[in-house]
Amino acid sequence: MLRGLRWQLTLLYLLAALALLALIGVGMYQLLSRYFETTTDLALQHKMAEQFRLLGAALPPELAEADRSWHASRGRPLPTTGISTDLRRNGEEHEGEGEDRRRSDDHLLEDAYDAELAAIFVLPLDARGQVLAVGGSPAAPLAPDAQAVAAALQRGSDWRTVRLADGTRLRLLTYALPGGTDPAVLQVGRALSDQDRLLHQLLIGLLGLGTASAVLMGLGSWWLAGRSLRPAQDAWERQQAFVANASHELRTPLTLIRASAEVAQRGLSAGDERRTLLDDILAECDHMGRLVEDLLLLSRLDAGRLKLERQRVALADLLTEIQRQVGRLADARGIHLVLDGASGAVWGDPTRLRQVLLILLDNALRYTPAGGSIRLAARPQGRYVVVTVTDTGSGIAPEHLPHVFERFYQADSARRSRGGSGLGLSIAKALIEAQHGQIRLESRPGEGTRVSLLLPAV
């Protein structure tokens, strides 16, 4: 009974766990991607600052700040003495600069083994964007980016990421140098293929881990849902056992009461008032007997212990027989029962199908006034055969329609006054679904009701 709820809880637990797992995975991916972006940009700015020092140019404030951050992240002191190319060429060194130069040379040696800096290429450019010389840095994978050069000459600097024809991404930093001498523009860049490759491998790993985790979490969710529902399942089983036992225990006293009433009634004359009282007792015994049978049937359906003898059922024969039997009762009430075509065959239990149709016809007869009509029909429709019971009775208000298949539910006091236990449609729904079918109900107040049974065709 609670298996469907267990599946729903399992799905809920699994979705919650997968959402958390996805959040962690996306967070890891974004964190690493952001780290690569930040590190690459900082390395490019540091490299650009080095080129400015080598050329003896003043560092822009943003490059100076980035350079300080770079040295702080590496635990190195910030260089205090610039080394111009002229000083290097002419060998003009001042006393006191030897220690600074050796420290700078040590840092340059460390930078040569720094993987992030080693991947950066440097392009000195003239004002037209032509390469002047490339030395001491990796070969550039492309010609200078003209748009970046133009933007740097206009704004002083330019950041951009470009994509090559082979799909490789490049991160470029371009600066215009003051003074009007060559180089007029410096462009440093780094291919991001190694980072993209690592991120791709991380993504594949996360997907593989996520798939394995989803399987494990699915099993865990199923177990957890079962454990959560165990108290409810136990209570439901105890309730079903009580209903079944109580129904069985009621059968014997009801049979005795009915037998005693029938015996007492035989000795009374037709006009005796006590006969009327005994008739009422017999009617209530019949009502209670039907209620007991309904409760027993529902108990077996809920427990999955109802045996169905499924076979090929020709609906023309079944509906014709039912129309003949119920037609006499309908005629006695002034209601016209019509068999409006019966074709197709279904795979089901003929006894239970007959029981469902009798429930529907009983409801139709109960709420259809004299002079009304009931139409019984069956027609193939795709993979199903649709059996319909349509009446011209009082109908059901829209607010009651969602509840008509609930147990003991009766739409209003007028319907309750006409008898019935409120279990008929519940039993019909359970019996049809047990045979892999569907039941639908449409109704409008004052116009009537139509109940459709969708049964697997053969």
End position of a domain, from candidates 250, 278, 303: 303
State whether 370 and 393 are in the same domain. yes
State whether 116 and 160 are in the same domain. yes
pLDDT of residue 134: 55
State whether 42 and 116 are in the same domain. yes
Question: Strand 185-191 to strand 438-444: parallel, antiparallel, or no bridges (unpaired)?
Answer: unpaired
pLDDT of residue 96: 45
pLDDT of residue 248: 67
State whether 176 and 237 are in the same domain. no
- Of 127, 133, 147, 146, the closest CA to residue 51 belongs to 133
Residue 113: inside a domain: yes
Cβ neighbours of residue 2 under 8 Å, at least 6 residues apart?
A: 229, 232, 233, 236
Residue 219: inside a domain: no
State whether 358 and 425 are in the same domain. yes
pLDDT of residue 418: 55
Residue 361: inside a domain: yes
* CA 267 centroid distance within chain: 71
State whether 426 and 290 are in the same domain. no
pLDDT of residue 356: 93
State whether 364 and 288 are in the same domain. no
Residue 154: inside a domain: yes
Residue 326 CB-density burial (10 A; 0-12 exposed, 13-18 middle, 19+ buried): buried
Q: Is the CB of residue 44 less than 8 Å from the CB of residue 173?
A: yes
Residue 221: inside a domain: no
pLDDT of residue 4: 76
- Of 155, 187, 156, the closest CA to residue 171 belongs to 187
pLDDT of residue 234: 74
Please compute Rg for the chain using Cα positions.
Answer: 44
pLDDT of residue 315: 93
pLDDT of residue 95: 43
Report the CATH number at residue 259.
1.10.287
Q: Say how far apart CA 294 and CA 421 lie, in whole Å.
A: 9
State whether 294 and 347 are in the same domain. no
In the chain, which stretches have pLDDT less than 50? Answer: 81-98, 103, 105, 108-109, 112-113
End position of a domain, from candidates 303, 324, 347: 303
Domain count, the chain: 3
End position of a domain, from candidates 180, 199, 218: 199
Report the CATH number at residue 448.
3.30.565.10
State whether 78 and 162 are in the same domain. yes
pLDDT of residue 135: 54
Residue 72: inside a domain: yes
State whether 230 and 195 are in the same domain. no
| Structural domain range at position 376 | 311-456
State whether 132 and 114 are in the same domain. yes
Residue 320: inside a domain: yes
Q: Is the CB of residue 422 less than 8 Å from the CB of residue 440?
A: no
Is the four-CA dihedral 391, 397, 398, 404 of positive or negative sign?
Answer: negative
DSSP for 382-406 reads TTEEEEEEEE-S----GGGGGGTTS
Residue 211: inside a domain: no
State whether 30 and 175 are in the same domain. yes
Largest separation between any pair of C-alpha atoms in the chain? 145
